Every structure is written in structure tokens, then in C-alpha cells.
Amino acid sequence: MTEHIDTIIVGGGQGGLSTSYHLLRQEREHVILEQADKSAKAWRERWDSFTLITPNWTIRLPGAEYQGDDPDGFMAREEVVAYFDEYIERFDLPIRYGIRVTSVEPIEAGYLVSTDEAEFEAANVVIATGLYQQPRIPPFSTHLPSAIRQLHSSEYRNPEALPDGAVLVVGSAQSGCQIAEELYLVGRKVYLSVSGAGRLPRRYRGKDVTWWFDEMGIADRTVDLLPSPAAKFAGSAHGTGKDGGHTINLHQFARDGVVLLGHIQSVQEDRIVLAPDLKESLANADKLEVDIVKQVDEYIEKIGLDAPIETIPELRDGYEAELILEVDLKSVGITSVIWATGYKFDFSLVKLPAFDEDGYPVQKRGVTEYPGLYFVGLPFLHTLKSGLLFGVGDDAAHVVSAIATSGKT
């Protein structure tokens, strides 16, 4: 039997929960369909020592903005999960767990939402599944020796869970850098295949870099200001909130004994073949920090802000390291490979041509050209902070406002 519901939200993460909050305030009938058996699945799957990358004051799910006594701290994984659980309970959000949506098809009454358990008809559907849906691992991973343990960064938990020996971490965006740092700080030999992600100073001139992003309006820059559509998929800049937060610098990694490598081009039995692009990647990382520091300095001077003078250390150890083009995994003792290579996304469950050539939804702040079809919780849906706890609530409010004014019930 088909169940009729005004609005269906697909996905119970931060986007889905924020949308539900605003729908409740409008007393609009709706339900959240979440395929996991618990809330905050993406957060529960983070490694043991994981913390938020942005300060606690950026936790701004609607109706539950951070009010704690440590606004400049960084919430640990368990605290984030508890925050989501409490949010659902506090507002009595109508979420149904263990239901996987298989298709969303247009029908005369709106949309037919098919799941692995039942069918629903809805006037409105909000897709809130996020962009980080499936681990992305390069095809050549299958060429690695079977004796080497391979896992995606989403499967990593702690150093003790890995076999003894050196570790190859592939990818140096947020997850890759944080995992590599944790491993080498406990004495593991680490090889890091560096990607093109940039570096941000954790703090500069008396404030966290996130504060500057907010103060200067960088966090509110809209997607149309990106250098290219592909820029919204770029790896997150180096950074960490662990132990109160600090700058992650690949040159410091090299100084501490991490072996920095270029991109992996191929795997040939026990050997990995590397591109000669390490210095280029390091230069990209350095440039982002230089550019941000310059913008902050100019902003301070422009508005006459009283902020302490600071000089960022200029490390160059990575440039001075030997350029390695091939690594024999067995001879250097690598027993584990962690693929910090990001995620794939797939919106094929939506049976409409509502996507661009990259498979990303064509929309304006979550509103598509198809009446009743919306998206929430994606990076650069509208601004830099659209996919974060920092800004997802604002986009959800916009989508719910669009639902209310559409007259579609």
C-alpha cells in the first residue's frame, strides 16, 4: 500500500535534520527516510581521535546553536554524535531508520518514492544524502600485493588497528593529513602521497582562521565566484582540531621524518610508480596560506582592526627532500595503505535530468526547475559553508520557504 506524505526528506544527516526542523515550525507534514540504523552515520564512522575541523561556535543547526563553555574548542567525534542524537530527540523529528530509497520518479501527484520496504507519494522531495556517499579508491589498488592491508580513510580507526610496519597514506587533504600525523606521532613510519590540497593557518593574528573567514565574508562567497565548477570538489585544506587545534604543515612532516611522495601513477607488483609533481603540490599548499594571510592583513589594515602582528614561519623542508619516483613496498616495510582519496556521489535514484555533466544537481540554492524537487547539505550548494554545520541550516530554511510558497501540497 502506498503511503501519502506531503514532503519526504531523503537522508537524515545535518541537511535532512535542518530541513525537518524548519518544516516542523511550519507544521508541514513530512518524514525523513534514513538508510542507516542510527543517526549521524557519517560522524560515527570517523576515526577514534577525530574532532571537528571548525570551532564549536560554528555548530549552528537551527534551534540548537552552540551554547557551551568552549566556543573556540573542537568537538570530538563522540560529542558530535551525541549532539545529533539530542537534536532529534529535542525536536522530536520524524525520522525512520533502516529505509533505503531506491528511486524518486515524477508522477502526476508529485513524486513516487520507492524504497526497499514500501512506496510513498509526496508532493515534495528533498534530497539530503550529501556528497560523500561512497569511498573512492583508484582502480590500480587491485594491483597491490594481497599481503598489504588496504582501507579507505572512512575505515581507519586508530594506529593499533593496523598491522606492524610502515604505512602509506594516499591523499593529503584533511583526512589524509590528520591520519598521517596521528600515525607518525606514535612512532609509525609514514609515506604520504601528496595531493593538491592547500594549507591554512589554524590561527593568525589572534583569531582562528574560521573566524577570519566569517568576519571577511569568505564563508559566504557564492558558488558563482569559484574559478571553475570543478573547484567545488577540491580536497579540503590541511587542518586539524585535535588537541586544541594547530596548523598542519607538510614541510614539518618532512622535518619529522615523513617521506613525502608525488601522486601515484601506477602499481606494478610490489612497486608504486610516482609522478614527479611533489614540489608542485607543496607549492600549491604553500600558496593558499600565503594568499589567506595576505587577505587577512589587507582586511585588518582596511578597517583599522586592532590585531597583533604575526609572521607565519616559512618552512621549506619538503622542497629539500629527495624526489622519489618509485617505491618498493616490500623493501621499505609498508604493510598498510590508507586511501584518503575522497568519495564518490551518485544521485541516479532521482529519475529526472536534473544534473550537470559532473552529476551535480542543477539548482539555485537547493531549488531545482522541477516543482517539488530540492537538494540540501551539499558543498557549495550556495556558499562555501553550505555543506557544513556552519551554514546548512540557512540553506534548509531557504528550501523550506520555497516549499511553503510553491503551493504544492
- Which parts of the chain register pLDDT below 70? 407-409
Place of cell 610490489: 270
Would you kindly state where each structural domain of the chain is located, as residue ranges? 3-133+345-406, 136-339
CA 108 – CA 185 distance, rounded (Å)? 59
For residue range 150-159, list pLDDT tens digits in order: 999 999 999 9
> C-alpha grid cell for residue 4?
501519502
- What sign for the dihedral angle of Cα 293, 212, 47, 128? negative
Name the CATH topology of 3-133+345-406: FAD/NAD(P)-binding domain (3.50.50)
CA 226 – CA 28 distance, rounded (Å)? 35
Domain 136-339 has CATH 3.40.50.10240: no
pLDDT of residue 46: 94
Contacts of 94 (CB under 8 A, 6+ apart): 20, 30, 31, 32
Q: Which of 291, 315, 334 is nearest to 192 (CA)?
A: 334
CA dist 366 to 109, 186, 356, 401, Å?
21, 44, 14, 11
pLDDT of residue 235: 79
CA dist 105 to 13, 69, 350, 352, Å?
22, 47, 6, 7
**φ/ψ (deg, to 5) at 84:** -65, -45
Place of cell 574560521: 210
pLDDT of residue 409: 66
Domains 3-133+345-406 and 136-339 alike in fold? yes
Place of cell 576515526: 47
